[in-house]
Amino acid sequence: MRARRALRWLRWLRVTEPYTFDTPDGAKTLSELFEGHSQLIVYHFMFAPEWVVGCKSCSFWADSFNGAVEHLAQRDVRFTAVSRSPLPRLQAFQRRMGWTFSWVSSQASRFNFDFNVPFRLETLASGEAVCNHGPLGESNTEMPAFSAFAKDARGDVFHTYGTYGRGIEAANAAYRLLDFVPKGRDEDGLSFSMSGVRLRDSYGR
C-alpha cells in the first residue's frame, strides 16, 4: 500500500488559482477549506445550478460520508463536498438527507471546471471534453470525482490526486457491503447499473 501511494503521488501540481467558495461561514478560499489540516479531500458532488435536488447517485455516495469525517480529521484530513449549485439549495438538500459533512458552493468560481468534472455545453458539442485523462464519451454536463489536495509548510496548495468513474467506488460503503453477499449488487436486468438507486428517503414510494 505504501509503494502504491508513492507512485500515485509522484507529481504534485501547485494550485495557483485563488478559488473562492460560498460556505456557511462566508466566502473562503481553497486554502481556507483545509481548516487547519494539511490534507483535504474534495468530493465533486453533481448538483448543477439549475437543478432542484442533488444527483441521486452522488447522494448514494454521500450517505457514506458522515461517519468518516471525524476519523479523517484524526489523520490530518479535512473533507468537504463541492457543488456548483447555490449554497442555500445545498443546505436545504443537506437538511433533507440528514447529512452533516461540510458542503460548499463553487458557483462563483471555475473550480469544478478546472478539475474536469462539469463540462460546458460547447465543450461537449466539440468532442473536446476530457475526464479521467481521456475523452469523456458521454453527454452529461456534470460528473462525480474525488480530488485530494495538500498544503506545505509555506501554505502552498497542491493537487495530489484525482479519481473519476469507477475509481470513486472505493468510497461507497453500501457497494462494498453488497459485494460480500451472494447476489452482489443485484444489477442484472437493469437498464444501467445505477438505475435502481434512489434518494434514501424515496425508496418504497
Q: What is the pLDDT of residues 91-127, one digit of tens each?
A: 999 999 999 999 999 998 989 888 877 655 444 444 5
- Beta bridge partners of residue 20, listed in sequence order: 29
Cell of 6: 508513492
d(Cα 129, Cα 108) in Å, to the nearest integer?
21
Sheet harboring 13-14: ordered strands across? 13-14, 157-164, 145-151, 39-44, 77-83, 103-105, 20-23, 26-29
Question: DSSP class of residue 13?
Answer: E
Residue 202 domain flag: no
Give 53-72 pLDDT, tens digit per residue.
999 999 999 999 999 999 99
Residue 138 domain flag: yes
Confidence label for 186 from pLDDT (cuts 50, 70 and 90):
confident
Give residue 94's domain range: 11-185
Residue 58 domain flag: yes
**Strand (E) or helix (H) holding 130:** strand 130-131
Give 23-38 pLDDT, tens digit per residue.
999 999 999 999 999 9
pTM of the model as a whole? 0.84
Residue 195 domain flag: no
Residue 204 domain flag: no
CA 47-53-54 angle, to 5 degrees, is 40
Cell of 184: 452482489
**CATH number of the domain within which 110 lies:** 3.40.30.10
**173-193 mean pLDDT:** 87
More reliable by pLDDT, 93 or 196: 93
Residue 191 domain flag: no
Number of domains comprising the chain: 1
